A and B are shown apart, each in its own frame.
Chain A
Amino acid sequence: MWYTLLMSVVTVLILTFITSYAILRRAVRERELRRLLLFFVIITPFVSAIALMRALVRGSKPVRYSEQLGEIEDQIESERAVVFKDRPIHPSFSYMWRVSYLYALEKSAASVVRLDRRSVSPSLCGVASLRR
């Protein structure tokens, strides 16, 4: 059972690397940049597994939204739609990134407010007993 599972994982990694290499070779002509991207391809499965474990144990932290990077993604997407005669993706990556970052900010702000109310509540600082 474990041997079959291990063999399956090895097969998945081999097939993923071969296919990624073929796609990268077609998309990126510059050798140095292709090497860098290939490095990312190789480390992604392992880093993602570790990140998933950490997120399950400690919870995930949002990545700060960058307006400039968001605009660049929008430019890439609009050109892709024109070049490949395809519909633009909606919601785009930049939109999802912004929304998820704002949601995480709101969530953390709400938890801070909740914590603040609890820490200055009358029962905790003794105001309630003084009033009596």
Chain B
Amino acid sequence: MQTLRHFVWETQLIHALRMNLTIVIPVTTLIAKIFIQIFSRDSFEEVSKSLANFPLELMLIAMSFMLSALSGLSAAYTNGFENQGDADLFAVVTMIVIFALSLIINRMTRWLYVLSTKLQVAYAQYSKLSSQPAIPNTVPDVAIMGRVVWAMFYCSMMTLVLVCTFGVSVLTLSFVLHLIE
């Protein structure tokens, strides 16, 4: 009886994972990537740098799924078309679109790098200025608060860039999964 219950629980989990491949594939890949870098004793700087490239890696995963569809590994994909030629043509066009989107994501990743370095410099300047002794009963200098304001701005911009890049890559991946499922 216990074995049967265990089997039911396992089946339900696998069913839930299959139903949510859009969330399972990116999150599992991300966790695996972080663990590989932790076990390889990479520095935290290298981990965070490589995380910025993750949207591009998701696009490459989507492209590899389309390659598998093109090679005929997914029967469900081919069944959606009238003939094999149409299926192959659609796979090639999709791959070209994924490539074009990857170029845009790569460009945006460069922006992410610029924003993160700006944030680093803003914080360095802020900590340098705030460590200097202040004259009592004076108005706080705008130079210190200005750095904090710009750090907030860089953070917001960074989040927006990340939402855009992850948005494009996750939507592309879910579209490809929808095609081959």
Identify the A interface with B (CB < 8 A): 4, 7-8, 10-16, 18-20, 22-30, 33, 36-37, 40-41, 44-45, 48, 68-69, 72-73, 75-77, 79-80, 83-84, 86, 89, 93
Contact = CB atoms under 8 A, between A and B. Distances in A.
Contacts of A45: 159-160, 163
A16 B155 contact: no
A121 B174 CA distance: 59
Interface size class of B (residues with CB under 8 A): 35 or more
A81 B178 CA distance: 44
Contact of A20 (B114, B152, B162): B162
Main secondary structure of the interface of B (DSSP, over half): helix
A77 B122 CA distance: 9
B76 interface: no
B159 A15 contact: no
11 contacts: A11-B166, A16-B163, A19-B52, A22-B47, A26-B45, A37-B151, A41-B156, A45-B163, A69-B146, A72-B147, A76-B122
Given A20-B162, A26-B45, A68-B142, A44 B155 contact: yes
B80 interface: no
A47 to B, nearest CB: 8
A77 to B, nearest CB: 7
A20 B30 contact: no
Given A15-B170, A19-B162, A86-B117, A8 B125 contact: no
A33 B158 CA distance: 16
A20 B22 contact: no
Top 3 A-B pairs, shortest CB-CB distance: A22-B48, A72-B146, A44-B159
Given A12-B163, A69-B149, A72-B147, A18 B30 contact: yes
